Structure 1
Amino acid sequence: MKKSSKLILFSALVAFTTFSCSSDSDKPGNETGGGVDTGKTKYIITATTGAAGIADYLLTADDISKGSITTTGNGIEQDGSYRYYITAQNNFFSLLYGQGNPGAVTTYNLNAEGKLIKKSNFQAETVHVFAAVNKDILTIKVPRSGAASIAQMYKIDAEKSLITGEAQQDTKKLAGNGERAFFTWATQVGEKVYMPYMSIKGDGVDNFGTKNPDSTWVAVYTYPELKLEKVIKDNRTSYLGGYYTNGLYQDENGDAYGFSGAVATSNSVVTSTKPSAVVKIKKGTTEFDKTYFFNVQEKSGGYKIASSTYISKGKVLLQMFGTVGTNKGAAKLAIADLYNQTFTWVTNAPQVITFTTVERYNLVSEDGSSAIVGINTPEGNWIYTINGTTAVATKGIKVEGGQITAIAKLKY
């Protein structure tokens, strides 16, 4: 373990001890933050005011189907300009993007009365990937340019909020084509972790450009060892997901589906010649299924996938780029059926959308029928429930005083 990593781990231990000794999480029956499970839940809505030097406010609500909530005189203010979120082991993690420097990772949970409280706080490297794996959160810091080419992977115990291990990956060696690999996300598939990546120049001039726009890669790692087993390759579409955007999901059958926008660029111009599509990796295999290819661009009338979120039973909510054939334009929402390869535009959603939480900060309804997302518009910001079968959006709670950036749910 490197000296810097030891310091990070030591900081984490000190910070966790400091906070847990003075918080409600130390009380009997509340060791993992949820207390005695009462069967109750509360929604966590994050909203940003857009003010300089201010990140998000954490708001809580019992019901998101109606009413309104505001950031004015309400919620827990986050420090720093950029925050990212993940929920694991009934804890809510707020990660500060430190602009390349280490940033705070703050853990929250609900006490027995349903109040959101701070459980711990520690420093960790600013990362580009963060995903729940088993009872951990796997985070990855990925270099994008310069001499540095080693991606740092960290395992955080999601119950104890402690960094428990790390691994490294040489991204130039992984790409093996004169460029470097840039992980877009990480997904647990069975007992392994699948990490799709982009091939990027990383030359300091056109960092995210590539000379390889029409290929797909998924690196397969053992877990918890994080040892590289192989790279799954294909050339029917482009890379999966995107910068800070998940593009690989496992369904209830154990199969994995990858989503490509086919928007690889060179000097900021889209150079992908393949269609935006969905590919499949069958359960128990580490190869793309050559018999499966869902051409979403064709089914949608020429639009490309911007981001996605899996609902259940093969239904997926897609956010599409609003301008045909490009990576530009106001967002448009659609439902895709992965099993029947059908595409349906969402109805009853706002006509003009400025930002949504589809990229990574959504929920699925208790019955698995719908996606619950934040949708921001020039007229206001609401939580919507979008049915995966009917593709109909239903407006819920309005969030005032800030743009919705994430939605989560915890038990107490």
Structure 2
Amino acid sequence: YVFSLVYNKGGAGTGASYYLNAAGKPTERYLYEFNRITSYGTWGDKVVTVSTGDSKTTDADGNIAQALLFNYLDENTGGQTEGAIDAENFLGNGEKVTFAGLEEANGKLYTSVVPMGMSRYGIGQWPDMVTDTELVAKADGGSASSSYTAGTIPSTQYPDRAWVAIYSGSSFAEKPVIVSTDKIGFACGRHRSQYYQTIWAADNGDLYVFSPGYGRTFTSSADLKKVTGTKPSGVVRIRKGATEFDPDYYVNFEQIGTQHPVFRCWHISGAHFLLQLYSDGVEGMMQGKDAVTNELAVFDAEAKTVVPVTGLPSDLAGFGGEPYGENGAMYIAVTVTGGDKPAFYKIDAATGHATKGLVIDAESVATAGKLTVRK
């Protein structure tokens, strides 16, 4: 099956599954409704969605503990199941967390663990984990995905550290190995409530962990104090089979290439990765949902070089959400401002050159994939 996943902003996630029938025609099989989607990936024969939301646990004052909520779609049957684990104090620092991306490599599952501050439940359970009482919101505030309630710490107290959880079994119920580093900030791309995957394995099994340096966007206001990060956008590495970060590996993206921070990234082949960058640098990243991210580059993780992608149209308007990789190249949907139909561009991992390919008779294209008829 191929599964479509629809975010639906703050509402429940929806989706559908499709397969190729004997005549090679895509055919819808099932429709789904499940927990809100903020990140997703695969684990074994399951497509997994994840978000953080209310659990069934409350304290004496009625404050609700937060949980990591999972939805599993079976690639063999199209079946749907759900699960949940505790998101409170997951890292031992009192904060609730979410996961950003799932990466299978070396017989294990890696996920970036993103701390999100302390809930009212968490503050009640672990008051000694509040590093500064001025960080606790005195009134409701914010809007949309940035809204918060009084009595919580709305953003992390630890913006300049990254954590990765390593699972060796087949269930999130097991206790993972958690590794951390202070060379980069937390590892995920962000747009509104979406947490984009920025941890990817190279072909040799080494795991590369990318950070945009979003902690710098946590700025205090007259109504709310926040811990502001200082770490630039960078990448670190966990060697194949290791349970610690490589102490000798670090790349600062704001010192090479166009010196712009990473928004999203994907593995192409070998140790090459496609980077989607903030076109206007750190200043642009500070614009949040209005930031421009129309710059692509190829990162060679072994050589530690960034090569800007060339060959894209001069009237570039934006990209589809997810590229498709195959045979050492990446295919990404490109839209332009001139009214032409969107087209796929093939990006060569070795040269960074993009070549125009298939034009699509549509207003926009999110991504592409490949199905084959199962014999």
Task: Provide the TM-score with structure 1 as the length reference.
Answer: 0.71
- The alpha carbon displacement at 1:294 in A equals 1.9
- The alpha carbon displacement at 1:406 in A equals 1.6
2:112 aligned residue: 196
Supply the distance in 1 between the matched residues of 2:94 and 2:164 (Cα, whole angstroms). Answer: 18
Supply the distance in 2 between the matched residues of 1:334 and 1:268 (Cα, whole angstroms). Answer: 33
1:372 aligned residue: 331
2:162 aligned residue: 216
2:128 aligned residue: none
Supply the distance in 2 between the matched residues of 1:156 and 1:291 (Cα, whole angstroms). Answer: 39
1:304 aligned residue: 261
1:78-117 matches, within 5 Å, as 91-117=1-27
Supply the distance in 1 between the matched residues of 2:14 and 2:276 (Cα, whole angstroms). Answer: 30
Residue 273 (structure 2) pairs with residue 316 (structure 1): yes
Residue 292 (structure 2) pairs with residue 292 (structure 1): no
Q: Could you say which structure has the greater relative contact order, defined with CA pairs below 8 angstroms and 6 or more residues apart?
A: 1
SS across alignment from 1:182 = strand
Contact 2:294 2:316 in 1 (8 A): yes
2:50 aligned residue: 140
1:185 aligned residue: 101
Supply the distance in 1 between the matched residues of 2:3 and 2:214 (Cα, whole angstroms). Answer: 31
SS across alignment from 1:325 = helix
Change (3 A) 1:312 1:117: same
- The alpha carbon displacement at 1:345 in A equals 0.6
Change (3 A) 1:385 1:156: same
Contact 1:182 1:199 in 2 (8 A): yes
Supply the RMSD in Å over aligned alpha carbons. 2.5
Residue 65 (structure 2) pairs with residue 118 (structure 1): no
Contact 1:258 1:278 in 2 (8 A): yes
Residue 223 (structure 2) pairs with residue 262 (structure 1): no
Contact 1:219 1:228 in 2 (8 A): no
Change (3 A) 1:387 1:165: same
Change (3 A) 1:348 1:233: same
Residue 296 (structure 2) pairs with residue 344 (structure 1): no
| Alignment gaps of 5+ in structure 2 | 56-62, 120-139, 147-153, 222-226, 286-290
Letter in 2 for 1:323: D
Contact 1:362 1:407 in 2 (8 A): yes
User: In the alignment, which of 297, 302, 322 is matched to residue 334 of structure 1?
Assistant: 297
Supply the distance in 2 between the matched residues of 1:383 and 1:268 (Cα, whole angstroms). Answer: 42
Change (3 A) 1:346 1:304: same
- The alpha carbon displacement at 1:330 in A equals 4.0
Letter in 2 for 1:257: Y
Letter in 2 for 1:212: Y
Supply the distance in 2 between the matched residues of 1:297 and 1:181 (Cα, whole angstroms). Answer: 27
2:371 aligned residue: 410
- The alpha carbon displacement at 1:248 in A equals 0.8
Change (3 A) 1:186 1:330: closer
2:182 aligned residue: 235
**Identity within the alignment, %:** 26
Q: Deviations over 1:199-222 (max 9, x none)?
A: 223666464743322111112224
Contact 2:35 2:70 in 1 (8 A): no
1:250 aligned residue: 201
SS across alignment from 1:228 = coil
Aligned length: 317
Supply the distance in 2 between the matched residues of 1:247 and 1:262 (Cα, whole angstroms). Answer: 12
Contact 1:141 1:151 in 2 (8 A): yes
SS across alignment from 2:195 = coil
Change (3 A) 1:173 1:352: farther
Task: Provide the TM-score with structure 2 as the length reference.
Answer: 0.77
| Alignment gaps of 5+ in structure 1 | 1-90
Q: Which moved more, 1:381-390 or 1:138-147?
A: 138-147
1:273 aligned residue: 230
Letter in 2 for 1:180: K
Q: Deviations over 1:219-241 (max 9, x none)?
A: 22243122122221101111112
Supply the distance in 2 between the matched residues of 1:182 and 1:351 (Cα, whole angstroms). Answer: 38
- The alpha carbon displacement at 1:263 in A equals 1.8
